[in-house]
Amino acid sequence: MWKSCRNLGVACVILSGAAAAVWAQTQQGKQAKQPARAAQPGNVDDRSTPESERLQQVPEILSVEAQVLPRNPPTLVVTAVGQTPTTGWTNVQLVRRIYVTPPADGMWEYDLLGVRPTRVAGAALQQFKRRNNWDDYDKSINGIRVYGVGRGVKEIRLTP
């Protein structure tokens, strides 16, 4: 009787190993079929970056300002104020999107990005004011659009 139980146990181990191998192959097949996704500015979607260091859009954009500094060459200074629903956000930065050709509507876009807290954070609003300097900016610019999450976008028109 013990011998038949031992044989049954060995058979179960073999079958479970085979089932695990089949499952692993199906998972590899699913991963191979998923389309590649383009990386976002900074390290937003970089899977090799730990989640605790991934940049994400700040939830709300409160205001956007722009001014031209009379330097040689002139510098466009864009300032954005964003707000998060919790404390603990780090590495918040205003990042200009890079284009191969200038936008047809002349509206240059920026993202207000930061690292979301990975631990429990205080439920208090936290504001960030960030600047981006653009030396020798594109003179065809008509305005600035700064993106946060969802409808968290503000835009301003520039007057020549």
Which residues of the chain are under the pLDDT cut of 50? 2, 5, 8-42
CB atoms within 10 A of CB 108: 24
Answer positive or negative: Cα dihedral of 64, 126, 96, 155.
negative
Q: What is the predicted pLDDT for the residue at 150?
A: 79
Q: Write down the residue that tokens 């200074």 correspond to.
A: 77
The pLDDT tens digits for 48-74 are 666 667 999 999 999 999 999 998 999
CATH of domain 51-157: 2.60.40
Is the pTM of the predicted complex or chain greater than 0.75? no
d(CA 4, CA 117) in angstroms, rounded, equals: 56
Residue 117 · residue 89 · CB < 8 Å: yes
- 3-class DSSP assignment, residue 129: strand
Alpha-carbon distances, residue 12 vs 1, 21, 24, 75 (angstroms): 17, 14, 18, 72
For CA atoms 138, 144, 146, 151, the dihedral sign is negative
Residue indicated by tokens 């104020």: 81
Sequence-ordered strand ranges (E) for 23-89: 55-57, 60-69, 75-84
- CA count, 13 A, side-chain hemisphere, 87: 5
